[in-house]
Amino acid sequence: MNNNINLISNQNVGLEKELRRLKQVRITSIICLVVVSLMSILIFVLNLTLPLDSVKKDQNTTAANIALLHQKLITYNLITDRVRNISGIISQREDYTTQLSQILGKLPAGVSMDGLQIDTGKITFSVSSTSLVSINQFIDTMVSFNSQGKIINNLVMQGLSLDTSSGKYDLNMQAGIL
């Protein structure tokens, strides 16, 4: 018979499993220790090279620049809106330049235009001269424009006065403009 048969084992199976687990736990803990150490060193180096104060200062500077640009954008939008509104008003406004140029073109020598006011469909003007003859020529011209009905209508003379200090006659007239 065989004398080498040993029914009692010298090796303990449970002890070997525990030793393997202990070895795996040690390896895992060493790996975690190395990873945590490397991360700590990396964070320390990054903190030294990129100080947090300079990042905060850059952040505040950038935020201030954005706020300034925001204010400029608001101003730009307001100005653009106003220009659009003014352009709309000007495009709706009637153009009286041809009528005014014809009236001013017929101004006799010695007569000066002192005031001119244009309302919707109405023009009010005041002229002055040292001679009543020149004022009369201007009145005749305005009456002829009124009778033609191409430039003005409803001509009304509002007043004729003499300024004794300057020796000038002042004529105020109002007319409907076509």
- Residue 28's pLDDT is 96
Q: How many CA atoms lie within 13 A of 138 on its CB side?
A: 27
Domain residue ranges of the chain, discontinuous segments joined by +: 97-177
pTM: 0.50
pLDDT at 13: 67
Q: Domain 97-177: state its class.
A: alpha beta
φ/ψ (deg, to 5) at 6: -120, 115
What angle separates helix 132-148 from helix 97-105, to the nearest 10 degrees? 140
Identify the pLDDT of residue 10: 61
What CA–CA distance (Å, rounded) separates 169 from 162? 4
- Nearest-angstrom CA–CA distance, 84 and 66: 27
Give the pLDDT of the chain (178 residues) as one tens digit per residue: 566 665 565 666 677 888 899 999 999 999 999 999 999 999 888 878 877 777 788 889 999 999 889 989 999 999 999 999 999 888 887 778 888 888 888 888 889 988 988 888 888 989 999 988 989 998 888 888 888 877 888 888 999 898 888 889 999 999 988 7
For residue 93, the model assigns a pLDDT of 78
